[in-house]
A and B are shown apart, each in its own frame.
Chain A
Amino acid sequence: MESLSNKKKVLEQKPLNLAERLYLPAIVKGLGTTMSHFFKKSATIRYPEVEREFSINWRGMHSLKRDEEGRERCTACGLCALSCPAEAITMIAAERKAEEKHLYREEKYAAVYEINMLRCIFCGLCEEACPKEAIYLDGPIVPSDYLRKDFIYGKDKLVEAPLETK
């Protein structure tokens, strides 16, 4: 029957002729192809020393942001933890005391904020869920380590460096 799409290709299986049965011409051709690759520049990037260029919306390690006065933006609402499909985020909320006003923007803040980098799939849903613009996946590649416990990143690793006081 006529093929409607006309894309079908019927392959004919011809018996090999003498040159093909000897394999040698094809082998010589193949050797030429591989040799031409021998002198090409390799595509490898030596990772720890050289990093490849990332796209602008690339998602790396999380960072907890500060506002323009250097106070932590996070209010420990838990929306990031709730939105996380991998359940990588946990936190413990605490109430801000009067003398801590310069440290935390909201009245409630995250006393403990932990992300398990082995669970995290870097989907960026926490970033989308955050109402306070407190978390962004704008960091570098999460480095490798030896122990599982070392992949649970606390506030010491996540919170942005404090602003320089001028």
Chain B
Amino acid sequence: MDINFVIEKFILVTILFAISLVIAMYSTYAERKVAAFLQDRLGPDRAGPFGILQPLADGVKMFMKEEIVPATSNKWLFMVGPGLAMLCACIGTAVIPWGQDLTIGGKTVPLQVTDINVGVLYIFGVVSLGVYGVMIGGWASNNKYSLLSAIRAASQNISYEVAMGLSIIALLLVTNSLSLKEIVAQQHSWHWNVIYQPLGFIIFMVCSFAETNRAPFDLPECETELIGGYHTEYSSMKLGFYLFAEYINMFVSSTVMVTLYFGGYNYPGMDYIAAHWAPNAAVLFGTFIFFMKIFMFIFFFMWVRWTIPRFRYDQLMNLGWKGLIPLAIVNIIITGIWIALRQF
């Protein structure tokens, strides 16, 4: 392994990490602003122009708060919980292809940390690991509300992972590949997978709402029943990590949805741009388009949160097991028949 490779990947990982954190930071701000606008209010506007420094103020507040560890908690796991939540949230971006290959000094630099051939499975693994942060934190708090919330989070994640996996199977029937780079490359120009898999996309989207514990499926942190949910006992930056991990998760799920269904860095008219612009500029413009799509999805996450009331627990389970899983299976069958017919 030559040193250039290491440096190149190190830079890419650092940039991705920084981007994830900054987007998560400003998602908290955007969430409050979107909520405010949807409710005919103004939102935070005191810290800096238009309240743009609000995330910094919140961060400082989080760091300055007293850190309280409950006496009867499992100290070690209590500390591991938020760290694990944060770790799982951050490593998801490693397999996402952020753009086509750049050419710097005659060398091709892929805008992807690693193109493992089972990228989709990796994403799945990381997303399902994410629930461990919630579970461990909830259990280690030694508080009945936290425990109830952890149990809810675990069962919710397991239930929705099934439907999510089934919706992905239909997608894989179409793409014939598990590599995310390959999947994105196939969606050239406007051939986005959402056109071939509309039902699969809706199932996947609903499931990713549930997986990220976002409204209307935010039962693990439902204040009216469980105080703060799994982070009831957390304070200071440990609480900050949990809240932060939720926003990074939202960013990662938006990214995955764009990658799998909305063409990643592809956009109509990209051939024209590639022919007329400098090659690197065209690639970076594709990445820019990618981020715009991601921001649209993050906005959609927030828009939904401030529209739909929280599901009841039995409704959640009914929707998952009796609604989405049969639908996903039907989707697989339809896709299979369609692919079989296409080959004739």
Q: Do A and B make up one complex? A: yes
Contact of A34 with B306 at beta-carbon distance under 8 Å, contacts A42-B41, A44-B41, A46-B42 already known:
yes
Question: Are A30 and B40 touching (Cβ within 8 A)?
Answer: no
**14 A–B pairs (Cβ distance < 8 Å), ordered by A:** A21-B323, A22-B323, A24-B202, A27-B304, A34-B38, A35-B38, A35-B303, A37-B37, A37-B39, A37-B40, A38-B37, A38-B38, A42-B36, A42-B40
A69 to chain B, nearest CB (A): 46
Contacts A22-B323, A23-B319; A42 near B42 (Cβ below 8 A): yes
Q: Which residues of A26-84 have CB atoms within 8 Å of chain B's CB atoms?
A: 27, 30-31, 33-35, 37-38, 40-44, 46
Given A22-B323, A23-B319, A46-B45, also A40-B307 (CB < 8 A): no
Within 8 Å CB of A35, what residues of B?
A: 38, 303
Partner of B307, one of A34, A41, A44: A34
Nearest A residue (CB) for B37: A38
Is B308 an interface residue, CB under 8 A from the partner? Answer: yes
* Count, chain A residues at interface, CB 8 A: 18
Which single residue of chain B is at the shortest CB-CB distance from A22? B323
How far is A38 from B319 in the complex, measured between Cα atoms in Å?
29
Interface size on B, residues (CB 8 A): 16
> A42–B304 contact, CB under 8 A?
no
Pairwise interchain contact B307-A43, C-beta atoms closer than 8 A: no
CB contact under 8 A between A33 and B40, given known A22-B323, A23-B319, A46-B45 = no
Q: With a 10 A CB-CB cut-off, give which of B45, B202, B303 has the most chain A CB atoms.
A: B303
Contact mask for chain B residues 1-42; partner A; CB cutoff 8 A; 1 contact, 0 none: 000000000000000000000000000000000001111111
User: Is the Cβ of B42 less than 8 Å from the Cβ of A31?
Assistant: no
A44 to B323, Cβ gap below 8 A? no
Known contacts A22-B323, A23-B319; decide if A34 and B303 are in contact (CB<8 Å): yes
| A43 CA / B39 CA spacing, docked (Å) | 9
Question: Measured between alpha carbons, how far is A38 from B40 in the docked complex, in Å?
Answer: 7
Is A40 in contact with B40, judged by CB distance below 8 angstroms?
yes
Which listed residue, A22, A31, A40, touches B304 by the CB 8 Å rule?
A31
A56 to B128, CA, bound (A): 62
Residues of B within 8 A of A37 (CB): 37-40
Knowing that A31-B303, A35-B303, A38-B37 are A-B contacts, what are 13 other residue pairs whose CB atoms are under 8 Å apart, sorted by A's residue number?
Answer: A21-B323, A30-B307, A31-B304, A31-B307, A34-B307, A35-B38, A37-B39, A37-B40, A38-B38, A40-B40, A42-B40, A43-B40, A44-B41
Residues of B within 8 A of A34 (CB): 38, 303, 306-307
B307 engages A27 (CB within 8 Å): yes
In the complex, A43 Cα to B43 Cα: how many Å? 11
The CA-CA distance from A31 to B34 in the complex, in Å, is: 13
Residues of B within 8 A of A43 (CB): 40-41
Chain B contacts of A41 at CB under 8 A?
A: 40
Which residue from chain A places its CB closest to the CB of B34 in the assembled complex? A38
Chain B neighbourhood of A21, CB < 8 A = 323
